Structure 1
């Protein structure tokens, strides 16, 4: 189902639909992800060691965002992608911010409607068993200390999810659709690119590709919600709730764990190859997608 507002977004992409522009957009994303953002991390970390985004453990393995300051820097660094996306959309494809977000009033309405439904759903789902060994989860912060970090986490997460949805769904997905005249190619193409960026840096073999498969499925869900809404609002909301759940409760101790009330010490290769974990993760995604559709009534 494609809303009228989404068709307007696609029409704005068709003003300059040449395929070579898609490769330029990809190049911009790569430059931001591989050069500009790491440079930002190094600069901030050099100014204050407490804000180091990447630490190295005793075995020489990188640990990403394992302190509150470090994780906040990781998330805040996505602001670079926001700026790059807006500038590229305007200069390369003559598209305004509204063209890649959808109507602002509709975006806000669908964002809040989706967020309210998913927040309630998250409370229920967190109570349900998700697999894994409870003995491999340890307390990182007391409740009051964790609450202190929650506002910083929400601000950082909003920057991150807004940046990714703006680039992947609002801009790249609609630009692919405008170039190919295929709504399916738009959703699947942007989802595939989104998934490639989620190869696990700390898991080898087949387990390293489970996050990729899950991210591709997430991209399809977010793309579908963007088509139905005609804005990136619901996709931002579902992305925010998903990342909040992943980072705030029991993240793995080596990856984005700086804000977690608990941390998991389990082997990531074991987790990503555990059928119960896989079932839970995909079920969580399916249920949140259905809840988001109910929230926006499309």
Structure 2
């Protein structure tokens, strides 16, 4: 089987996932006959200011998680033999990661928290019925490793699914996913042979789970807090004061569900 080296093969793997984003957008437009931007958010596109806010909220938590993991002793029985990859290899790997990982991580969000969540959510009233299937499939897509790894991925899928519905778009999920993957793969770029490993997040141990889950939950709390403040500011900034006429009803999607506060997208041909 042809190989392009550890870094080249990693780049191809990331690109193979990244192409899912245009595929999802094309399916929404051509198959479901709706604007492709509705996969991104209820506003019909990726909200860049909200994405920047979510990145700012996620960055300190991800850095804290990395620091705690670095200070945590390696569980008994696991190897601690780590070798420096070399300056040239590290810089090449780091550049590859920082260029491609954002597209790879966003593509996974467009598939699971975007298209799949909307496809199920358009036909049911309970948001958790829409959240659960995509979270299970997201965890399974990373392979069958340890029970701790599967649990961590399941929690990640459930929490980011809820954030997607609550905020009306993919920005919160994309921000956390991108920074989480960038942190892990940037570290891997510094370790000789790390890119050659076939391990994934599904292989994590209970120690990593115990560190990762609180970080995800804290991030969710921060995002929801900011979202509530924005909603409150919007509600109190109504022209005309208390005697102003009420706002028009929220637009409805093809399934009859309000598109604000409940991110399901139109029913289409899911």
Q: Distance in 1 between matches of 2:192 and 2:51?
A: 28
Q: Distance in 2 between matches of 1:76 and 1:152?
A: 11
1:273 CA drift (Å): 7.7
Pick the aligned partner of 1:107 from 23, 43, 47: 47
Q: Distance in 1 between matches of 2:88 and 2:56?
A: 24
1:297 CA drift (Å): 5.1
140 and 292 in structure 1: CA distance in 2 versus 1, 3 angstrom threshold: farther
CA contact (8 A) 2:149 2:204 kept: no
1:147 CA drift (Å): 3.9
Q: Would you say 1:248 and 2:202 are equivalent positions?
A: no
Q: Distance in 1 between matches of 2:32 and 2:113?
A: 15
123 and 179 in structure 1: CA distance in 2 versus 1, 3 angstrom threshold: same
244 and 262 in structure 1: CA distance in 2 versus 1, 3 angstrom threshold: farther
Which structure: greater strand fraction? 1
Tell me how many residue pairs correspond in the alignment: 220
Q: Distance in 2 between matches of 1:233 and 1:98?
A: 13
Q: Normalized against structure 2, the TM-score is what?
A: 0.69
Q: Distance in 2 between matches of 1:137 and 1:295?
A: 42
Match of 1:189 in 2: 133
CA contact (8 A) 2:35 2:44 kept: no
291 and 245 in structure 1: CA distance in 2 versus 1, 3 angstrom threshold: farther
Match of 2:22 in 1: 83
68 and 297 in structure 1: CA distance in 2 versus 1, 3 angstrom threshold: farther
Matches within 5 A, 1:43-192: 46=2, 49-50=3-4, 67-102=6-41, 103=43, 107-128=47-68, 129-132=71-74, 136-142=80-86, 146-192=90-136
Pick the aligned partner of 1:277 from 188, 193, 208: 208
Larger radius of gyration: 2
Q: CA RMSD in A?
A: 3.1
1:281 CA drift (Å): 2.7
Q: Which moved more, 1:236-245 or 1:122-131?
A: 122-131
Q: Which runs of 5+ in 1 are unaligned?
A: 1-44, 52-66, 251-258
Which structure: greater helix fraction? 1
Match of 1:215 in 2: 153
Q: Distance in 2 between matches of 1:178 and 1:280?
A: 34
79 and 139 in structure 1: CA distance in 2 versus 1, 3 angstrom threshold: same
Match of 2:221 in 1: 290
Q: Which moved more, 1:132-141 or 1:235-244?
A: 132-141
Q: Which runs of 5+ in 2 are unaligned?
A: 230-270
